[in-house]
Amino acid sequence: MQITKNKVAAIHYTLRDNDGNIIDTSDGRDPLHYLHGAGNLILGMEEGLEGKAKGDKFQLKISPDKGYGEKDPNMVQKVPRSAFGDQEVRKGMKFSTNQGNVVTVTEVGLDSVTVDANHELAGVELNFDVEVMEVRNATNEEITHGHVHGPGGHHH
């Protein structure tokens, strides 16, 4: 059975940056279950998995436009140091905004702090090693909900 729209696939993956550093991996965890064609994964991943079958192992190189997008310079902002109150603020720290976004501190000045609200993988070329572990038909309920139920999926 091949991966096409409305199939559920289970995959193992390892994600590296262009320097070979591992950013994320399913190694040592359960495989990732997803509903194909429902936008559950980034576009480059869905395109690369289309037509693949159980047992297939392959590599994918995904550019930012089919991954997490380019970095948006408008999402880098200076905010007053006072906005953080008495909290310690250091470069690399992450904060949740009132809108529920996660921002990363990229610079700390005396009076101001620079924060970046881009996804941490924005602008990054993604190198995936992928192995397809399982492919099955999605249930009607899964198709309606747009996500996987049962093992590796939503429980509700």
Which positions lie near Zn ion, rule CB under 5 A? 145, 154
Backbone angles phi, psi at 30, to 5 degrees: -65, 150
Q: By C-alpha distance, which of 144, 9, 119 is closest to 64?
A: 119
Q: Given the complex with Zn ion, which of 66 and 145 has the nearer CB atom?
A: 145
Q: How far is the CB of 140 from Zn ion (least distance, A)?
A: 11
Total number of residues shown for the chain: 156
Q: Which long-range contacts (CB under 8 A, 24 or more apart) does 26-32 make?
A: 30/151, 30/152, 31/133, 31/134, 31/152, 32/152
Q: Given the complex with Zn ion, which of 55 and 150 has the nearer CB atom?
A: 150
Using an 8 Å Cβ cutoff, are 51 and 3 in contact?
Answer: yes
Q: Given the complex with Zn ion, which of 130 and 138 has the nearer CB atom?
A: 138
Q: How far is the CB of 145 from Zn ion (least distance, A)?
A: 3
Q: Given the complex with Zn ion, which of 90 and 156 has the nearer CB atom?
A: 156
Q: How far is the CB of 36 from Zn ion (least distance, A)?
A: 16
Nearest position to Zn ion, beta carbon = 145
Q: How far is the CB of 146 from Zn ion (least distance, A)?
A: 8
